[in-house]
Amino acid sequence: MTLFPLLASLVSIAYAAFLARSVLRSPGGNPAMQEIAKAIQEGAMAYLKRQYLTIAVVASFMFLVLWFVFDENKGIAIGFLVGAIASALAGFLGMMVAVRANVKVAQAAKSGLAGAFSLAFRGGAVTGFFVVGLALFAVAGFYAATHDLHALVGLGLGGSLISVFARLGGGIYTKAADVGADIVGKVEAGIPEDDLRNPAVIADNVGDNVGDDAGMAADLFETYAVTMVAAMLLGSLLLGGIPHIIELPLLIGGVAVFASILGSFVVKLLGKSIMQALYQGLLLSAVLSLVGFFYILSQLGFGETLLPWFGAMFVGVVVTLLMVGITEYYTSKSFRPVQTIAKASETGSGTNVIMGLAFGMEATIAPILVIVAGVLLAYNFAGLYGVALAAVAMLSLAGIVIAIDAFGPITDNAGGIAEMANLSESARESTDALDSVGNTTKAVTKAYAIASAGLASLVLFVSYTQELVAGGLSASEFRFELGNPYVVAGLFLGGALPYLFASMAMRAVGKTAGSVVEEVRRQFKEIPGIMEKKAKPDYAKCVDIVTKAALKEMIFPTLLVVISPVLVGLLLGPEALGGFLMGTIITGLFVAIAMTSGGGAWDNAKKFIEEGNLGGKGSEAHKAAITGDTVGDPYKDTAGPAINPLIKVVNIIAILLATFLV
C-alpha cells in the first residue's frame, strides 16, 4: 500500500527536476539583466543560508527535548528531524529555480506574452511538484519504515516549525524591504517601483523569493504532510479495524500527483486570459483526481462506504475550486472589491485604507460559509472521517495549486528586471500583465492554504480528543462543553493567540521598514549622483538590514506558538487545551483570510490605477493607493500567511501532549 505513493512521489520529484532543467536551459538575457538577476540570487541565497542556520539551532534544541521527553518512542524525535529537513529542502529547491527563472521570463517577454507565461508557469511548477513529491515521500517513506503514527506526528511538527519560521521570517524580509523601498522611492522620490536608483530595490526583489516562494513552499509542505498524518491518525483511532484505512490518504495523494502532472500539460495561453489558462490545468487536475479517487476506493473493496467516502472527497475538491473563485473575486482587478478600493483612492489615503479594511472583513464571509458547508456535507457523508477525507482530497491538489502560486514571485521579479534593465515597452507590458495576475494567484493559494488548514486543524482537534480517550480518559473526566469554565478560558486564550502573533509580525515589518527608510534616505542624501544615475547605491546595506532584522524578529513569535499550548495544557488541563485549540482555529481563520484577501485587493487596486484608470500613475488617487498597498503588504505577505502554520502547530503539540494529560 505504500509502494504506489512512494512511486508517485518519485515521479513528482523527477517531473520537477525535468521542468527545472527545461527552465534553466532557456536564454538568460543580456549582461545587464544577468547582473541584476545575479544580485537577486546572491541576496536570496545569503538570506536563506542564514535563516536555515538560525532555524537549525532551534530545531536541534527541539529535537533534544523530544528525544528525552518521549524516551520510550525515539521515532517522534527522528520524525521531527525528517519533517524539518524535508520542509527546508522543498523551499530551498523551489527558490533555487525561481531566482534563475525570473530573468529568463523577462527575456522571453521580449518575444511576447505566450512564451513568457509558459516559462513562468514551468518555473512555478518546479516548486509545486518538488513540494508535493518531497512531502508524500517523507510521509509514505517514514511510515513504511516505522509503521508508527505517533512518529509521523513528530514529522508533522518538524514541517510545521520550519513553516512558521519560513513564512514569518520570509514575510518580514520581503515586506520590510518592499514597504521601505516604496515609501522613499515611489512616494518621496517619485521614481518607479523597480528602479536601480533605489538602494532597497534588490532587497525588495530578493524578498519576493524568500517570502512568496521558499516561505510558501514550506507552508504548503507542512499543510500537505500534516493533513496526511492527521487523516491517517484519525482513521486508525476511529476505524482501525478496516484494512488499508491508514494507507488510504497516501493513495489519494499518489493518484493526485499523476492527475496534477497531466493537468499541467494543458496550462497554455491560447488568448489573452492568463487566469483562464491557469484554471484549465487546475480543473483538469481536479476532474482526473476524482476519477482516480473513485477507482482506488472501488479497488480496495470498501463496499458500503465507497459512495459516502467518495462524496466526502468530492466535497474537498469542490471546496478548493470555490475558494479559488472567491479569492479571485476579492483580489482581481476585474471585480467590484478592487475597483471600489481604487475609486475610494480618489478622495485620499484615509478612504482607501477604510475601504480596504472593509473588504478584507467582507472577504471572510464567503470562505467561511464554504468551509462550514464543506465540513457539514463531509460529516453527513462519512462522519468525522469524512471531514478528514475532504481535507486530504483538498490538499492532494497542492502540486498544481502551488505551481499557480509560485508563478507569482517569478513574474514579479521578471517585471522588476525588465524595468531595471530598460527593456522595451512591449516586453514590460507582457511582464506587467503576468505580474498583475501573479498577485491574484498568490492570494488564491494563501486562501487555499488557510481553508485547508482549517479542515486539517479540525481533524487534528478530533485526533487530540480521541488520543485522550485512547489514553484512558473517561467522559466524566474530560468535559469539553461550554458550561465548563476551563473550556471557556481556553477558548479566550486560544482566540487571542492569532491576534498577538499577527501584531508581533506587523510590528516587526513596521520597525524593519523604518530602518530601511532611514537607510535609503541616508544614501540619497550622502551619495551624490544617485538620482542622476552617475553613482551606484549600496544595495548590500539594505539587504543586510532586512536579513538581520527578519532573523531576529522571527524567533520570539515562533517560540510563543510552541510554548503557549504546552503551558495551557500543563497548567489548566486537557479541557482548557481543547478550548485553546478551537479558539485558535476560529479566530485564526478569520484573521488570516481577512488579511490575505484585503492585502491582495489593496495591491491590485494600486495596479488598476497604474494601468491608466482614475488618473493613472502620479495622480492623487495613485498616491493614496500606494499608501493602501503599503498597509496591505504585511497583511497579505507576513502576518496573514504565517497564521496558517500557527493553527496547525498548536494542534500537533496538543496531540503529543495528550499522553501527559491523561
Give me the amino acid identity at 276. Answer: Q
pLDDT the model gives residue 260: 96
**Mean pLDDT across the stretch 305-317?**
95
Above 80 in pLDDT, residue 131? Answer: yes
pLDDT value of position 45: 87
Summarised one tens digit per residue, pLDDT across range 251-270 is 999 999 999 999 999 999 87
Residue whose cell numbers read 468535559: 479
In whole angstroms, give the CA distance from residue 467 to residue 230. Answer: 12
Residue 342 has pLDDT above 60, yes or no: yes
Confidence of residue 459 (pLDDT cuts 50, 70, 90): confident
User: For residue 300, what pLDDT is reported?
Assistant: 87
φ, ψ of residue 654 in degrees (nearest 5): -60, -40
Confidence of residue 523 (pLDDT cuts 50, 70, 90): very high
Give the three cell numbers for residue 4. 504506489
Contact call for residues 470 and 661 (beta carbons, < 8 A): no
Phi/psi for 401 (5° steps) reads: -70, -45
pLDDT in tens, 348-406: 999 999 999 999 999 999 999 999 999 999 999 999 999 999 999 999 999 999 898 88
Name 430's Cβ contacts closer than 8 Å, sequence gap at least 6: 109, 112, 113, 116
pTM of the shown model: 0.91
Query: Which pLDDT score, from 0 to 100, does residue 194 have?
Result: 79
User: What are the pLDDT digits (tens) for 483-516?
Assistant: 899 999 999 999 999 999 999 999 999 999 999 9
Q: Hunting for cell 517531473 — which residue is that?
A: 15
For the record, the C-alpha cell of 263 comes out as: 493537468
- To 5 degrees, how large is the angle CA 227–CA 600–CA 282? 50
User: Do residues 489 and 583 make contact, with C-beta atoms less than 8 angstroms apart?
Assistant: no
Comparing C-alpha atoms, which of 384, 365, 363 is closest to residue 375? 384
pLDDT for the residue numbered 259:
97
Query: Torsion over CA of 500, 503, 505 and 511, rounded to 10 degrees?
Result: -140
Q: Are 331 and 446 in contact (CB under 8 A)?
A: no
The band of 475, judged by pLDDT with boundaries at 50, 70 and 90, is low
Choose between 28 and 605: higher pLDDT.
605
Q: Could you tell me where the DSSP H helices lie in 301-364?
A: 306-331, 336-344, 349-362
Measured between alpha carbons, how far is residue 399 from residues 105, 136, 257, 355 in Å? Answer: 21, 11, 7, 34
449 and 224 Cβ atoms separated by less than 8 Å? no
Tell me, what's the pLDDT at 474? Answer: 66
Nearest to 133 by CA among 315, 261, 323: 261
Give yes or no for residue 476 having a pLDDT over 70. no
Residue 120 has pLDDT above 90, yes or no: yes
Q: Are 587 and 499 in contact (CB under 8 A)?
A: yes
Number of C-beta neighbours around residue 612 at 10 A: 10
| Backbone CA torsion sign across 319, 324, 325, 331 | positive
Distance CA 163, CA 150 (A): 20
Mean of the pLDDT values across residues 185-213? 83
**Is 139:250 a contact under the CB 8 Å cutoff?**
yes
d(CA 578, CA 488): 10
Over its C-alpha atoms, the chain yields an Rg (Å, rounded) of 24
How far are the Cα atoms of 181, 268, 330, 378, 449 from residue 392, in angstroms, in the given order? 40, 28, 26, 12, 12
Check: CB of residue 433 under 8 Å from CB of residue 113: yes
pLDDT for residue 533? 83
Distance CA 184, CA 267 (A): 39
Please state the rounded mean pLDDT for residues 287-305. 91
Task: Look at the block and give the residue holding cell 552617475.
Answer: 534
C-alpha–C-alpha distance, residues 344 and 287, integer Å: 41
Contact 29, 106 (CB under 8 A): yes
Q: Side-chain half-sphere of 212: how many Cα atoms within 13 Å?
A: 36
| Grid cell 527608510 in the structure block, residue | 517
Among 76-80, 419-423, 441-445, the range of highest mean pLDDT: 76-80
Average pLDDT over residues 297-311: 89
Task: Answer yes or no: is pLDDT of 419 > 90.
Answer: no
**All three cell numbers of 399:** 502540486
